[in-house]
């Protein structure tokens, strides 16, 4: 009998939060009864129940476009986000438990307790296809409602980018406010070309309250799914977007457009204009120049027997007056000394972060592995008790020494604040590791070859 009461509550919830219609409620009760007696348990059962209670994808599309038309795109995305929280696809209660803080050097750090650490970048290439090939990868639209991947409650909305069908969905374990992905309806590999900039600008034209960016389409410096073209965005202004231009440069073709080197630890060029064609033109020229640029003295090698090494990661916002396209220059080259990447987090920081530094981190929001919460707590205690570091925490020697010094300096209220500052400092140094140009003169030399006056 508990089933019946539970079903009543679920139907009530679905009417209030998931737009279930009275006419359908008895039918859905019967469907739930079957699901609850199917033997499914835990997250699978939750996924099946809320999937059944959610609107159909076509109904989601319809509701979204009606709200968009009547109340604008911000209201539409808010509605969709809340819907995906209500139907439990977005695990907001889990996300809200993740520690998150800003550090004095302008970075934001979060410890992700929900998602397992992803230490093998080779997996990204394959994109985890399931045998049988129904949904070719984890982000294909065919996953909407797909039980083997617990996507029965996944709902997406159709959008058009560059005249082609794409869709937008929220990330179940988002890293920031309304974190979502825009995905090509076609399963086609990640790539960046002129059309990418057009697509990104199409997106912010439609959703000017969101930023959107694209991971570098190479392993070790990009996202976890390289097999399927997608962008990441959402409703938060990230630290990189707040950074200012440090040095202005001039584009020869559009000398009146604001272009400059960003005051940022990584290597980033910002292009600001109210005309999209100027932004696209300059960004694409910069991309073309960078992917072909080599400077062996600096360790920059465009291509070798292992393939292409240079790529960019663009990210754009739309302000009240113009577009701001930030082009992050990246390289995934490795060496004997740095087998994980010359422009990757160096080994002394791997205890904190070993995973790829993708688009989100390159914008100053660091997602650190969940294991750190316990490990760092232990180190804080050891420092406070003035004890030596335990051998099993040996990889944290740098963190231990530096945090101890910060704590002893008396500048911080307590050991925990000192530790947070230490993490900010390490993440900043990781960003410096990813910078392909360590000084401005070298960057200027490259920019000259790319058609800029410096
Ligand atoms: Zn796919």
Within a domain: 128: yes
Compute the distance between CA of residue 51 and CA of residue 156 in angstroms, rounded to an integer. 13
Within a domain: 115: yes
CA of 331 to the centre of ligand 1 (A): 25
Q: Report pLDDT digits (tens) over 286-318.
A: 999 999 999 999 999 999 999 999 999 999 999
List of residues 6+ apart from 77 with CB closer than 8 A: 178, 207, 209, 210, 235
CA of 213 to the centre of ligand 1 (A): 18
Name beta bridge partners: 324: 272, 317
Within a domain: 446: yes
What CATH number does residue 133 fall under? 3.30.428
Domain count of the chain?
1
Compute the distance between CA of residue 393 and CA of residue 376 in angstroms, rounded to an integer. 10
Compute the distance between CA of residue 63 and CA of residue 73 in angstroms, rounded to an integer. 12
Within a domain: 160: yes
CA of 142 to the centre of ligand 1 (A): 8
How far does Cα 52 stand from its chain's mean position?
29
> pLDDT-derived band of residue 142, with 50, 70 and 90 as boundaries?
very high
Query: Could you tell me the pTM of the whole model?
Result: 0.94
CA of 327 to the centre of ligand 1 (A): 26
List of residues 6+ apart from 419 with CB closer than 8 A: 376, 379, 380, 399, 403
DSSP H stretches of helix in 207-271? 239-242
CA of 134 to the centre of ligand 1 (A): 10
Compute the distance between CA of residue 366 and CA of residue 361 in angstroms, rounded to an integer. 5
Residues within 5 Å of ion ligand 1, judged at the Cβ atom: 136-137, 140, 187, 228
CA of 166 to the centre of ligand 1 (A): 12
**SS3 state at 312:** strand
Residue 149 belongs to domain spanning: 94-366+436-453
**8 A C-beta contact, residue 17 and residue 86:** yes
Predicted confidence (pLDDT) at residue 131 exceeds the cutoff of 70? no
Of all residues in the chain, the percent with pLDDT exceeding 70 is 95
Q: What mean pLDDT comes out for the span 71-91? A: 97
**8 A C-beta contact, residue 442 and residue 128:** no
CA of 183 to the centre of ligand 1 (A): 9
Q: What mean pLDDT comes out for the span 211-222? A: 95
DSSP H stretches of helix in 320-371? 359-362
> pLDDT-derived band of residue 98, with 50, 70 and 90 as boundaries?
very high
CA of 137 to the centre of ligand 1 (A): 4
CA of 188 to the centre of ligand 1 (A): 7
Q: Report pLDDT digits (tens) over 232-274.
A: 999 999 999 999 999 999 999 999 999 999 999 999 999 999 9
Helix (H) or strand (E) holding 452: strand 452-453
> pLDDT-derived band of residue 125, with 50, 70 and 90 as boundaries?
very low
Compute the distance between CA of residue 203 and CA of residue 197 in angstroms, rounded to an integer. 10
Q: What mean pLDDT comes out for the span 388-394? A: 93
Within a domain: 418: no
Within a domain: 116: yes
Higher pLDDT, 245 or 150: 245
Within a domain: 219: yes
The pLDDT of residue 2: 64
> pLDDT-derived band of residue 124, with 50, 70 and 90 as boundaries?
very low
CA of 124 to the centre of ligand 1 (A): 12
CA of 186 to the centre of ligand 1 (A): 7
CA of 61 to the centre of ligand 1 (A): 20
Taking alpha carbons only, the member of 323, 285, 284, 327 closest to residue 452 is 285
């Amino acid at each position: 009998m508990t089933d019946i009461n539970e079903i009543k509550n679920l139907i009530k919830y679905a009417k209030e939060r998931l737009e279930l219609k009275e006419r359908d409620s008895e039918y859905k009760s019967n469907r739930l009864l079957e699901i609850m007696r199917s033997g499914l348990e835990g997250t699978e059962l939750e996924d099946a129940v809320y999937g059944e209670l959610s609107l159909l994808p076509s109904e989601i599309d319809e509701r979204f476009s009606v709200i968009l038309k009547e109340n604008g795109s911000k209201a539409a995305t808010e509605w969709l986000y809340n819907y995906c929280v209500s139907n439990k696809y977005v695990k907001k209660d889990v996300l809200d438990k993740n520690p998150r803080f800003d550090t004095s050097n302008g970075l934001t750090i979060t410890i992700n307790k929900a998602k397992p650490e992803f230490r093998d970048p080779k997996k990204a290439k394959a994109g985890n296809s399931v045998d049988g090939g129904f949904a070719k990868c984890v982000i294909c639209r065919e996953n909407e409602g797909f039980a083997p991947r617990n996507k029965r409650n996944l709902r997406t909305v159709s959008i058009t980018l560059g005249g082609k069908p794409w869709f937008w969905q929220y990330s179940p374990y988002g890293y920031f406010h309304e974190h979502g992905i825009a995905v090509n309806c076609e399963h086609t590999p990640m790539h960046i070309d002129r059309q990418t900039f057009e697509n990104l600008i199409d997106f912010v034209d439609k959703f000017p309250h969101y930023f959107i960016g694209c991971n570098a389409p190479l392993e070790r410096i990009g996202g976890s799914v390289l097999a399927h073209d997608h962008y990441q965005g959402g409703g938060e202004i990230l630290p990189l977007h707040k950074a200012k231009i440090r040095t202005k440069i001039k584009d020869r073709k559009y000398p009146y457009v604001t272009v400059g080197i960003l005051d940022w630890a990584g290597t980033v060029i910002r292009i600001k204009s109210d005309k999209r064609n100027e932004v696209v033109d300059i960004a694409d020229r910069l991309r073309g120049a960078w992917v072909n640029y080599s400077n062996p003295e600096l360790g920059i090698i465009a291509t070798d027997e292992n393939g292409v090494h240079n790529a960019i990661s663009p990210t754009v916002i739309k302000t009240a007056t113009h577009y701001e396209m930030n082009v992050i220059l990246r390289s995934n080259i490795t060496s004997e000394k740095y087998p994980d990447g010359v422009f990757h987090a160096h080994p002394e920081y791997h205890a904190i972060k070993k995973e790829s530094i993708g688009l989100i981190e390159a914008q100053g929001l660091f997602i650190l592995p969940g294991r750190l919460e316990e490990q760092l707590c232990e180190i804080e205690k050891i420092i406070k008790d003035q004890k030596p570091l335990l051998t099993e925490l040996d990889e944290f020697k740098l963190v231990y020494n530096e945090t101890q010094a910060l704590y002893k300096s008396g500048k911080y209220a307590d050991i925990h604040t000192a530790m947070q500052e230490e993490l900010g400092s390490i993440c900043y140094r990781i960003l410096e590791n990813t910078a392909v140009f360590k000084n401005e003169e070298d960057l200027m030399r490259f920019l000259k070859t790319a058609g800029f006056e410096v």
